[in-house]
């Protein structure tokens, strides 16, 4: 679900997963958020590790119910499972120094809903602290919607500390950008291949540098995503600089907001992978569902990016993983100390019981996650098919309108350069033809001496190729071939270059990689000013041509 297309129902229910509900016999398990930071030690005498643990313990003390054991405040392990307590477990390792906790907190308003928080605190050789928290929602009854959040102790842990997020100092609030140096740092962050957290960029109106005029409350978004995202506000001038750096298709301006997900790549990504929200949509959500409704919606989607990160288990070891390490060390230490066979057998039996319990718990967790993901996938597919259906209907209406215009002899203009290719495509061929952001970048660098051929080729797709593909007839095939001949173009399969130079011919389209397996070409020269190549693929689902690169030649085995 993108920011732009999601539709809240009520302020409290706006994040509801629609579609098929998980079966009542299985819990719906939904990762909510994940925070991972490095805390820098500022004084040699400071025990930052224990300070951080105690911040978390103060929060656990409020959640657990009965008072925590006295030695817990010294970092000792403990378990609280007595009547009247919220189940809470703490485990520790001496080498490396590591402290981990898990708390199950019953929802006060929703029956059979539990919030599970896992926390990890580790110490590096320099005395810095690796800190992380993971929040999971489990619903055994009705899977009601909820707003995404981070645990409350995150704020306490970060207060007064220098924290590092994605190898950069975590800002104390939304970062305001109004100059080229700060903008360059933002672009470096966006394109950092090691970045794990999403980046939210909020734009001010054109020619505006008053950050008090921000359409949304950036501080609300910052607080809701604390430690899990980077929040920026750009002045009108900074937006212009960003457009120059990443291109119009990946930029943000005129009070819009863009969410840049990890793995951002100008050369491969479709701009829709990094959703843009227009100011009209922001205003609609907040006017219909109350103050800060859009901020809550955006925050939940930002947190979902971190919660579903594929390497989340590597970055923050789960409580169960640490428990297995602790049990294994206990058994080995017992063997080394010469414990009796009976004592070793007792340890082995206890470990087997823990493993059996873990196996059952993991099975339930994975089944719950699978059911939740299946429900979300079904909903996404339903939305996707609905959008495609609307697209086809709109295409038919546009075709009729264009046919009427053509009957009045209103010719399509053919520009003499490629500066406004994007707007021309949106005006005259969008729908039957999609121009990928990568193709736009190629056009900007193009030195081809006959730019008008680019426009003619795109009209060829719209007026001849797409009609032939969607409703083939001998007449349409002949018309297409004659137009190819008139333009002196050849349409051919790319061949084995899509295997030998795979990366050159792949683009992301609608969230998945697609191969540019066909191309239009004119001439045999490899000189950029003489060579014309247009690489594309046919998308059967949307019945459209997707152009992924132009106008230069892409490498193959002979080049």
Query: Does the pLDDT at position 231 exceed 70?
Result: yes
Pairing mode, strands 490-493 and 518-522 = antiparallel
Does any domain span residue 95? Answer: yes
Domain with 111, as residue range(s), is 28-144+318-376
Structure tokens at 540: 């059967």
pTM of the predicted model as reported, rounded to 2 decimal places: 0.73
Mean pLDDT for all residues in the chain: 84
Does any domain span residue 40? Answer: yes
- List the end-to-end C-alpha distance of the chain, in Å, as a whole number: 41
Judgement on whether residues 189 and 221 belong to the same structural domain of the protein: yes
Judgement on whether residues 202 and 252 belong to the same structural domain of the protein: yes
CA–CA gap between residue 516 and residue 537 (Å, rounded): 5
465-468, long-range: CB < 8 A, 24+ apart: 465/491, 465/545, 466/432, 466/433, 466/543, 466/544, 466/545
Contact yes or no for 492/519 (Cβ under 8 A): yes
> pLDDT of 40-93, one tens digit each?
998 888 899 999 999 999 999 999 889 999 999 999 999 998 888 899 999 999
At 462 the pLDDT is 93
> Which of 307, 329, 347 is where one domain is finished?
307
Judgement on whether residues 292 and 336 belong to the same structural domain of the protein: no
Judgement on whether residues 110 and 230 belong to the same structural domain of the protein: no
Query: Does the pLDDT at position 6 exceed 50?
Result: no
> pLDDT of 273-328, one tens digit each?
899 999 999 999 998 889 999 999 999 999 999 887 766 666 567 788 888 888 77
Judgement on whether residues 223 and 340 belong to the same structural domain of the protein: no
> Which of 286, 307, 328 is where one domain is finished?
307
Judgement on whether residues 420 and 530 belong to the same structural domain of the protein: yes
CATH number at residue 219: 3.40.30.10
Judgement on whether residues 132 and 84 belong to the same structural domain of the protein: yes
> pLDDT of 523-539, one tens digit each?
888 888 999 999 999 99
Judgement on whether residues 93 and 214 belong to the same structural domain of the protein: no
Does any domain span residue 269? Answer: yes
CA–CA gap between residue 188 and residue 242 (Å, rounded): 11
Does any domain span residue 557? Answer: no
SS3 310: coil
Does any domain span residue 120? Answer: yes
Residue 420 neighbours by CB distance under 10 Å: 10
Does any domain span residue 388? Answer: no
Judgement on whether residues 546 and 416 belong to the same structural domain of the protein: yes
Between 240 and 525, name the one with better pLDDT.
Answer: 240
> Which of 279, 307, 335 is where one domain is finished?
307
Average pLDDT of span 333-356? 65
Tell me 430's DSSP state: B
Residue linked to tokens 């339930």: 364
Does any domain span residue 134? Answer: yes
Number of separate domains in the chain: 3
At 444 the pLDDT is 87
CA–CA gap between residue 56 and residue 48 (Å, rounded): 13
Judgement on whether residues 442 and 520 belong to the same structural domain of the protein: yes
Judgement on whether residues 137 and 72 belong to the same structural domain of the protein: yes
Does any domain span residue 405? Answer: no
Judgement on whether residues 303 and 342 belong to the same structural domain of the protein: no
Instruction: Cis check for the bond before 551: say yes or no (omega within 30 of 0).
Output: yes
């Amino acid at each position: 679900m993108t920011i732009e297309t999601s539709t809240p129902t009520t302020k409290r229910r706006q994040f509801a997963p629609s579609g098929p509900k998980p079966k009542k016999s299985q819990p719906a398990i939904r990762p909510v958020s994940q925070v991972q930071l490095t805390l820098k030690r500022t004084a040699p005498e400071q025990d930052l590790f224990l300070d951080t643990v105690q911040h978390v313990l103060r929060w656990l003390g409020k959640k657990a119910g009965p008072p925590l054991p006295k030695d817990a405040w010294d970092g000792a392990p403990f378990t609280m499972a007595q009547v009247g307590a919220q189940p809470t477990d703490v485990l520790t390792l001496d080498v490396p120094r590591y402290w981990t906790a898990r708390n199950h907190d019953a929802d006060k308003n929703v029956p059979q809903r539990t919030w599970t928080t896992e926390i990890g605190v580790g110490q590096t050789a320099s005395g810095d602290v690796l800190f992380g928290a993971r929040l999971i929602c489990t619903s055994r009854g009705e899977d009601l919607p909820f707003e995404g959040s981070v645990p409350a102790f995150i704020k306490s842990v970060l207060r007064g500390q220098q924290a590092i997020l994605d190898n950069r100092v975590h800002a104390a609030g939304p970062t305001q950008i109004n100059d080229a140096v700060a903008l360059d740092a933002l672009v470096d962050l966006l394109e950092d291949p090691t970045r794990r957290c999403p980046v939210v960029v909020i734009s001010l109106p054109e020619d505006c540098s008053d950050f008090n005029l921000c359409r949304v409350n950036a501080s609300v978004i910052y607080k809701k995503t604390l430690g899990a995202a980077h929040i920026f506000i750009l002045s009108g001038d900074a937006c212009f600089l960003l457009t120059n750096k990443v291109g119009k298709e990946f930029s943000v301006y005129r009070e819009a907001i863009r969410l840049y997900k990890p793995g951002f790549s100008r050369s491969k990504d479709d701009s829709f992978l990094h959703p843009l929200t227009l100011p009209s949509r922001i205003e609609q959500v907040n006017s219909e569902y109350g103050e800060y409704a859009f901020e809550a919606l955006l925050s939940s989607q930002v947190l979902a990016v971190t919660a579903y990160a594929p390497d989340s288990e590597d970055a923050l070891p789960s409580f169960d993983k640490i428990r297995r390490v602790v049990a294994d060390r206990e058994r080995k230490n017992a063997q080394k100390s010469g414990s009796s066979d009976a004592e070793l057998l007792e340890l082995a039996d206890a470990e087997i019981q823990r493993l059996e319990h873990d196996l059952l718990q993991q099975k339930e967790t994975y089944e719950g996650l699978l059911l939740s993901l299946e429900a979300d996938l079904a909903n996404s597919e339903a939305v996707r098919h609905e959008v495609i259906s609307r697209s086809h209907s709109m295409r038919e209406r546009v075709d009729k309108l264009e046919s009427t215009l053509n009957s009045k002899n209103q010719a399509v203009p053919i520009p003499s350069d490629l500066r406004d290719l994007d707007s021309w495509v949106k005006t005259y061929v969008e729908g039957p033809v999609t121009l990928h952001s990568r193709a736009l970048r190629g056009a900007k660098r193009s030195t081809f001496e006959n730019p008008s051929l680019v426009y003619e080729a795109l009209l060829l797709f719209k007026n001849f190729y797409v009609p032939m593909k969607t409703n083939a007839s001998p007449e349409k095939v002949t018309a297409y071939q004659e137009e190819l001949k008139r333009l002196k173009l050849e349409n051919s399969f790319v061949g084995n270059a899509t295997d030998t130079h795979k990366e050159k011919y792949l683009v992301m389209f609608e969230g998945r990689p697609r191969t540019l397996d066909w191309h239009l070409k004119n001439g045999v020269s490899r000189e950029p000013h003489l060579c014309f190549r247009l690489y594309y693929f046919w998308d059967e689902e949307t019945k459209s041509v997707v152009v992924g690169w132009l106008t230069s030649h892409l490498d193959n085995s002979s080049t």
